[in-house]
Structure 1
Amino acid sequence: MFQKSMKPAKNIFLTGEINCGKSTMINSILEEFNIEYTGFRTIPYKINDIHMGYAFKSLVKGMEETPPISVKLKGMKPFKITETFDYFGTLTLEESLKSKEKVILLDEIGVFESEASRFQKIIRECLDSDKICVGVIKKKENSFLNEIKSRDDVLLIELPKIELGKHAKIREEVSSFFKFLVNDNNRGMRIMKKLNKRIAFVLTLVFSVMIFAGCTGNSKEGNANEKTITVEDQLGRKVEIKGDVNRIISSYYVSTSILIGLGLQDKVVGIEKKAKNREMYKKCAPEFLKLPAVGTGKEINVEECIKLKPDLVIIPTRLKKFIPDLEKVNIKVIAIEPESLDSFMQTVELIGKATGANEKANKFLDYYKNTLDKVSKLVKETKNRPTVYLGGTDNILKTCTGKMYQNYMIEESGGTNVTKDIKDGYWANISVEQLIKFNPEVIYVVGYAKYTPRDVFNDERLKGVDAIKNKKVYTFPSKLEPWDFPTPSSILGMLWILQNIHSDVYSTDDFKKDAKAFYKEFYNLDVSDEEIGL
């Protein structure tokens, strides 16, 4: 386990509903102190004076461009431009960290950067630095936003949506805290706890008045909705779930695995096909072997689902065409698409919230994030990034594209995925000539493949490839479950890659220890070296 460190707060974020005065308060405090600062702002993106979305405005000298971060076309939902964050945004904050300014403005951190892994990483570096970060954070929920809000070194203040003049007391406290941080950083740290309590007291008074007014005005409606939650699935659909979720159908191996990790196997009444082939089910949820098979990653049996009377059905987004048929009979459906590190964490968070397993979901996500941080720090100690190729199910010429979760696993673990620039679909077929041209230093064969590393070594067409010449073709473990799938155990897949290509910073013994601890912690399983593929 990796413990969260306790740090004094030196970063301030305001949150709240739209137009409650967050940016206005931050800007007025910065003006009050007449202090130089760097960072970025989010501004309207206009074409011919027509509001088309939002843009990124760098406050770094020489970076006057304002590239869009989202664009909304008529009749369509806004679409985010992740590249703006990952390239222009990352460069802005890299320069901000190097600058002489003590303060970095982050206005605002929201939902558009949910898949911008490079930008998220530099945000973390800013918060970890000796700079003071002040900014605005969206009142939304996803894994990245929740991570920032829960940091020990972040003072988070939610502004109620009232007349701006009534924010004066809160502004006074924030300004006071900011003054100590700017003028005497060490002294500010020492009095942080006292100021936190004062601010919390002011906010409690404000919220108590608001809540009391709301309750006296509409108490009956509050009671009626007491057990209702609303989640947003990975199609962007708002799904309202009333009452407890006690009967769950999962037509997708990924969501079924997550349900086991969250301790919800007793509530599952229907699952995907081929359950009898899964060793993990035999060990952790043997009852699954007798459950009705309702579908696959490509289809779902709606009639069978209806017979099982579920409170919730979980499907992959590619099965969205079946949602209307299920909703016609009042069955709640959430769709998931965990094909990147961030979207996988969002999937776990979504399932945890929809099923009432928030505590276990958060516990796993904390472990996941801490392990990713550990991997990132170890990768920084390495001197090179070996080129890696992942062979898929049918033959060695089937491989993962840059859109797949496996791509992120390789890249995060200190390798370079030679097929990362293939963006068409998910699993892709390439030619022998392409594989020879890629010339990977390491080849992995998925554990569920119809061929073995021996077959790859014996393929005369590929004898000139470095990985084959140097005997670096491996089966991707484990025997319990595939670690290259976007499931809870995928974090072990990243650790395995790390020990395979960077054993100088992370040994096989280190990996064994971490893998066995993971299964004990989240599945109460004692596993052998053989079961984890060693």
Structure 2
Amino acid sequence: MKKIAKFLILVLIVCTFGACSKNSTAVQSANNADNNKKITVTDGMKRKIELSKPAEKVLTNYPIAVQILCALDKQDNILGADGNVIKNPLTFSPKAGSSKTAASNDINVEQVIAAKPDLVIIYKKNKEIVPKLEKSNIKVFVVSAENLDELKSTVKDLGILTGKEKKSEEFMEYYTKKLNFIDTKLKVVDQKNRPKVYMAGGGLYLAPGKNMFQNSLIELAGGTNVTGSLSSNKWSQVSAEQLISWNPDVIIITQYSGVKPQDVLNNSALKDISAVKNKKVYLMPSKISSWDMPCPQTILGIMWLSTKTNPELFKDIDITKEVDDFYQQFYGTTYTKLGGTLD
């Protein structure tokens, strides 16, 4: 499986909404009443977004937004993609695909306008195009999902905007249940006795500070981030000497770090670090999508990391089954069938 990288996608998702044959008259009346109601949410820039009915045609250049939409509806009806696309099984259905490529990662405003979408979803770093799209009466939802609460809020809002509230509620219930389960298990571990965790980002010596999503992920999984005193909201450069002085019990290597666990274990300069001596250096899943990012699979990253920080507490957890069950519930297939591994 190819790892998700930076890429541009303009996805047209068509969702069909219909009444059941049983009690069709009553259902149709209810649907008509619902259609007269305004749909209102607040996006990641605190902007009020209002639709007259659930969005049926959605365009986005943000891969995580596509993953959320797929999780909400188990999408297999993506009709096409425009851009330099990496065909990831959780981004596009088997029916989808495009041979077109884009010259850059910029959003083509003209193409978006021509597609006449009901809703455009963008990442906040592209916020400068909002006025251009709104000038053409196109509704734009800006995503800011830099922590777990923002991620959950985004899922809820996209569920409302696309008429998939029940599915978004199912997603939230899953998250709440699993987080409560982990938290209950961790109550027996005193905060000062929690294992010290070091996470490597874009390189072995790039680490997350207290304002980064990865910091909260480590804490939710029952660890203490050794770089949590760093105040930057970006990956911070640290030295080998600092890493040695922190002496982490566990070292986590991200998929995009360019480093393998064996590289750390074979590094003679780091041989006295507790994690190295005890061979507790792990590669964070997954090759399909990075579980340390604010995406639907984040809960899997928390569960997986819990089994590494406190293995005795979570020894009864079959993490592969947990992961497969999640993918089956929200993507209609299992992680194993997609070729995902937990190495």
* TM-score interval, smaller chain: 0.7 to 0.9
SS at match of 1:334: strand
How far apart, in 1, do the equivalents of 2:180 and 2:210 lie? 22
Q: Identify which of 161, 165, 179 aligns with 1:358.
A: 165
Which structure has the higher relative contact order (CA within 8 Å, separation 6+)?
2
How far apart, in 2, do the equivalents of 1:272 and 1:477 lie? 28
Task: Using the TM superposition, give the Cα deviation of residue 250 of structure 1 relative to its aligned residue in structure 2, in angstroms.
Answer: 1.8
Identity of aligned residues (%): 36
Which residue does 1:262 correspond to in 2? 72
Which residue does 1:226 correspond to in 2? 36
Distance 1:293 1:505, change over 3 A: farther
Distance 1:475 1:508, change over 3 A: farther
Task: Using the TM superposition, give the Cα deviation of residue 423 of structure 1 relative to its aligned residue in structure 2, in angstroms.
Answer: 2.5
Q: Is 1:483 paired with 2:291?
A: yes
How far apart, in 2, do the equivalents of 1:468 and 1:281 lie? 36
How far apart, in 2, do the equivalents of 1:516 and 1:434 lie? 38
Q: Is 1:309 paired with 2:309?
A: no
How far apart, in 2, do the equivalents of 1:400 and 1:349 lie? 27
Q: Deviations over 1:117-141 (max 9, x none)?
A: xxxxxxxxxxxxxxxxxxxxxxxxx
Task: After TM superposition, list the pairs within 5 Å mapping 1:36-75 onto structure 2.
Answer: none
Which residue does 2:125 correspond to in 1? 318
Task: Using the TM superposition, give the Cα deviation of residue 299 of structure 1 relative to its aligned residue in structure 2, in angstroms.
Answer: 4.6
Task: After TM superposition, list the pairs within 5 Å mapping 1:163-202 onto structure 2.
Answer: none
SS at match of 2:51: strand
Task: Using the TM superposition, give the Cα deviation of residue 505 of structure 1 relative to its aligned residue in structure 2, in angstroms.
Answer: 1.6
How far apart, in 2, do the equivalents of 1:302 and 1:319 lie? 12
Which residue does 2:53 correspond to in 1? 243
How far apart, in 2, do the equivalents of 1:350 and 1:305 lie? 22
**Contact kept? 2:271, 2:277, Cα under 8 Å:** yes
Q: Deviations over 1:355-404 (max 9, x none)?
A: 111110011001101111111001113353111111113x2112223222
How far apart, in 1, do the equivalents of 2:119 and 2:290 lie? 26
Task: After TM superposition, list the pairs within 5 Å mapping 1:390-401 onto structure 2.
Answer: 390-393=199-202, 395-401=203-209
Q: Deviations over 1:254-294 (max 9, x none)?
A: 11110110116356567696642535346xx2344328678
**Contact kept? 1:248, 1:270, Cα under 8 Å:** no
SS at match of 1:289: coil
Task: Using the TM superposition, give the Cα deviation of residue 224 of structure 1 relative to its aligned residue in structure 2, in angstroms.
Answer: 12
AA partner of residue 318 (structure 1): K
Task: Using the TM superposition, give the Cα deviation of residue 324 of structure 1 relative to its aligned residue in structure 2, in angstroms.
Answer: 0.7
SS at match of 2:73: coil
Structure 1 or 2: more strand by fraction: 1
**Contact kept? 2:81, 2:98, Cα under 8 Å:** no
Distance 1:366 1:462, change over 3 A: same
Distance 1:223 1:349, change over 3 A: closer
**Contact kept? 2:68, 2:295, Cα under 8 Å:** yes
**Contact kept? 2:205, 2:238, Cα under 8 Å:** yes
Q: How large is the RMSD of aligned CA atoms in angstroms?
A: 2.8
Q: Identify which of 381, 387, 395 aligns with 2:188.
A: 381
Segments of structure 2 that go 5 or more residues without pairing to the other structure are 1-31
Which residue does 2:25 correspond to in 1? none
How far apart, in 2, do the equivalents of 1:293 and 1:446 lie? 28
**Contact kept? 1:382, 1:502, Cα under 8 Å:** no
Which residue does 1:208 correspond to in 2? none
How far apart, in 2, do the equivalents of 1:300 and 1:415 lie? 39
**Contact kept? 2:81, 2:97, Cα under 8 Å:** no
Q: Identify which of 327, 340, 343 aligns with 1:531.
A: 340
Which residue does 1:471 correspond to in 2? 279
**Contact kept? 1:407, 1:417, Cα under 8 Å:** yes
AA partner of residue 198 (structure 2): Y
Q: Identify which of 210, 214, 221 aligns with 1:406.
A: 214
TM-score by length of 1: 0.53
Task: After TM superposition, list the pairs within 5 Å mapping 1:58-457 onto structure 2.
Answer: 226-263=36-73, 265=75, 268=78, 275-276=85-86, 278-281=88-91, 285-290=93-98, 299-382=106-189, 384-393=193-202, 395-457=203-265
Q: Deviations over 1:72-114 (max 9, x none)?
A: xxxxxxxxxxxxxxxxxxxxxxxxxxxxxxxxxxxxxxxxxxx
SS at match of 1:313: strand
Structure 1 or 2: more helix by fraction: 1
SS at match of 1:434: helix
Distance 1:429 1:272, change over 3 A: farther
How far apart, in 2, do the equivalents of 1:293 and 1:424 lie? 35
